Structures are given as C-alpha cells and as structure tokens.
C-alpha cells in the first residue's frame, strides 16, 4: 500500500468517526479501523471504566449492549493486560496470543498488531488496538505522528459521544443515587397513558416510601439515611422486570411504572419487594436499620380513558391515586401496601 493510499484510509476513517451520531455508530467505525478495500483489520478501543459509568451510558443508549467489537471496557489496564501499562508510544509487531489474546475478544486469526496508547490528561484513557490478517496494517509504516493521530482521533470521538450521552442523561438521572429521576418518571407515566390508549391494555403506577427514614436521619445523620436509601433502592430495583420503569422520586420515595399489568398482577411483584426488604436490615455505620416500606398501587384501565385524552392531566391523576394508596398504607401502620380506591374497585370487579 502506498503512503498516499494509507493517508487516504486514515482520513476516510476519521470522517466516519466524525460523522458518528451515536455510540453504536462509533463502535462500528472503531471495529473497522483505518482500512482500505482489501485489508482485513479488527479495531478495539479499550477504555478504563473503573466506576462503570461508561458502560451505563452505553447500555442506556443501546438497550443494554456494552461489550461489542470496537469498544471494550476494563476496570484497569494493570489487571486486564499488565504489559499495556508500560506502553508509552505506538507499537507494532507480530500478533502473539499469549500477549494479545485478551485484547481482541474473539479468535480472529490475526497475524499483526498495532497498539496505540491514548493521549493522557483527558477524562478517558486506555489503548486503541488494531489487528490485521495476513500483513501489517498499511498505515503502520507512516510514522509515529500518524499513529498518534489515529489514537487521538479514536479518543476524541469517544469523548464527544460519551459527553453527549451524559448531557442527554443528565435531566433524567437522580444525582444522589444514579437512578432515574422524578423528571424521567413523569415522562414515562405520560408515555404509558398513550400506550394504554393505543394498545387497550392496563398499567400500574406504584409508589414506595421508606418507613422511618426521617428518624434515622435525626438520630444518625443524613449520611446514614442516604446509605439506607441506597440499600432499599438496590433491593427494590433487583425485583423490577426489564419492561418496568424504576425511579427515585425524591427524599425517601421511589416509583414504578408497570406496563401491561393490572392491579392483580402488580400485587405479587409488590409482595416480592416487601419480602426482599424484610429479609435483612441495612447496615448503617455501627448500627442496623430495618428496611420497611409503605406502598401504594394505582391501576390505569383503558376503559377509563376518553377518546381524546390529555396525557399530562391523566398521568398526574394516576400518580396522585398511587400516592393516596401509599398514604393509606402509612395510616394502617406501614410495612405493607394498599390499592387506590379505583384499583381496589377494579380488583373486586374481576
């Protein structure tokens, strides 16, 4: 391959990265690498993601898919491939399974490898690895500056799209817990109102309040209360189905939207949540805190929706009914659930 052809390959690839409007599109370009027709390359951008933030951002955009060709995450380079920590300049050479097998997830029959350390000092860091079959990549002979350009281009494109994902997620994520926010929950309620009308199927709104959190905050401090809240939320989320929406509504309150679910089918899920919380107390500093909750359940039935509906008004009323059930559960002593009046009437009529 001539130098001009190799340059053209890098520029075409750079344009593909710049044109990527999603992390999935970025993955595809990274997996292809700066190749020309006739070359068989396999690229893998390996990013350090010790707090799993990048994986969560990618999962949120792609519906759960995080490990794909082109983009991989590790908790640290030292634990993943110790030799990479000593990589301070571009390196190219023959492929050795013992040294490079973990870098490329699949058996790709590679013969040559280029390893490019990513520029330091930015939020993301790691290595961009490119494997070739049959001969070294054509761009590998262009010199260190071009190789650094390839690594910098891969990193800059990833930085841009991950920052975009952060901005899109910022309005719908609760900063304390990292769970979906009240803003997200209200939007999902409105979406579900429309879905109920369109699909002619019921749905349930569930509101969950952690009993006794105020007293814990007063006796042991806000940090203890936050720890108990996080433990309770984690146990609740573990019981939630993939199709459901879960959010932290604020203070000591959580919310669930259960699509295609009437009150009768919501109750077994609520029972599982109660059992998971009662199973063991939360350890808060030097003390323990029993996890008990009050829960309100409100059903939205298609028959209750008019042909012309105002989604926000109906969603607000639906949430208010769930909260009314929650208050009734509180009045009855907590550590249990109560159906809203409409949900209870629906259950009796079945």
CA dihedral 33, 35, 37, 42 (to 10 degrees): -40
Q: How many CB atoms lie within 10 A of CB 79?
A: 10
pLDDT at 23: 85
Residue 212's pLDDT is 95
Select, from the ranges 116-120, 218-222, 323-327, the one with the highest average predicted confidence (pLDDT).
Answer: 323-327
Rounded average pLDDT over 9-27: 87
- The angle subtended at Cα 278 by Cα 276 and Cα 283, nearest 5°, is 95
CA distance 93 to 259: 54
* pLDDT (0 to 100) of residue 143: 84
pLDDT at 177: 73
**What pLDDT is recorded for position 163?**
85
Q: Mean pLDDT across the chain, nearest whole number?
A: 87
Residue 295 CA: distances (Å) to CA of 212, 267, 270, 279, 331: 14, 10, 8, 17, 11
Could you report the per-residue pLDDT of 38-77, keeping only the tens digit for each?
Answer: 788 899 999 998 888 888 788 767 656 667 778 899 999 8
CA dist 105 and 39 (Å) reads 20
Tell me what the mean pLDDT of segment 83-107 comes to. Answer: 86
Token pair in block for residue 114: 């280029």
What pLDDT, in 10s, does the model give residues 205-216?
A: 999 999 999 999
How deeply is 111 buried, as exposed, middle or buried, from its count of CB atoms within 10 A (0-12, 13-18, 19+)? middle
162 contact partners, CB below 8 Å, separation of at least 6: 23, 54, 57, 124
Residues 334-349 pLDDT 10s = 999 999 876 555 555 5
* SS3 call for 246: strand
Q: Picking from 44-53, 197-206, 252-261, which range would have the lowest pLDDT averaged per residue?
A: 44-53
Q: For the chain, what is the total number of helices (H) and then of strands (E)?
A: 12, 12
For 133, phi then psi, to 5°, come to -115, 125
Region 117-134: mean pLDDT is 84
- pTM beyond 0.75: no
Q: For position 134, what pLDDT does the model report?
A: 86
């Amino acid at each position: 391959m001539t130098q001009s052809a190799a340059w053209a390959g890098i520029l075409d690839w750079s344009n593909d990265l710049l044109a990527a409007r999603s992390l999935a599109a970025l993955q595809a370009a990274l997996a292809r690498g700066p190749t020309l027709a006739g070359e068989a390359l396999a690229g893998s951008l390996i990013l350090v993601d010790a707090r799993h933030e990048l994986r969560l951002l990618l999962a949120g955009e792609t519906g759960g898919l995080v490990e794909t060709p082109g983009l991989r995450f590790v908790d640290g380079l030292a634990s993943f491939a110790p030799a990479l920590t000593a990589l301070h300049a571009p390196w190219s050479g023959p492929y050795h399974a013992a040294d490079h097998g973990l870098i490329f997830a699949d058996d790709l029959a590679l013969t040559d490898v280029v390893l490019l350390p990513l520029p330091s000092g930015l939020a993301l860091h790691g290595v961009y690895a490119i494997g070739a079959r049959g001969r070294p990549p054509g761009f590998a002979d262009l010199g260190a500056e071009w190789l650094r350009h390839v690594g910098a281009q891969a990193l800059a494109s990833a930085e841009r799209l991950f920052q975009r994902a952060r901005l899109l997620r910022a309005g719908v994520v609760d900063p304390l817990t990292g769970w979906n926010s009240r803003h997200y929950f209200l939007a999902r309620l409105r979406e579900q109102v429309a879905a109920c009308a369109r699909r002619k199927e019921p749905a349930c709104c569930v509101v969950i309040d952690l009993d006794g959190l105020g007293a814990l905050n007063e006796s042991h401090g806000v940090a203890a209360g936050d720890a108990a809240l996080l433990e309770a939320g984690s146990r609740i989320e573990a019981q939630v189905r993939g199709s459901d929406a879960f959010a932290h509504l604020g203070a000591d309150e959580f919310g669930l939207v259960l699509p295609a679910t009437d009150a009768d089918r919501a109750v077994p899920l609520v029972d599982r949540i109660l059992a998971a919380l009662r199973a063991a107390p939360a350890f808060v500093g030097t003390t323990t805190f029993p996890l008990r909750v009050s829960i309100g359940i409100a059903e939205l039935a298609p028959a209750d929706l008019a042909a012309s509906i105002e989604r926000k008004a109906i969603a607000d009323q639906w949430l208010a009914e769930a909260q009314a059930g929650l208050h009734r559960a509180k009045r009855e002593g907590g550590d249990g659930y109560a159906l809203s009046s409409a949900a209870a009437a629906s259950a009796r009529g079945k």
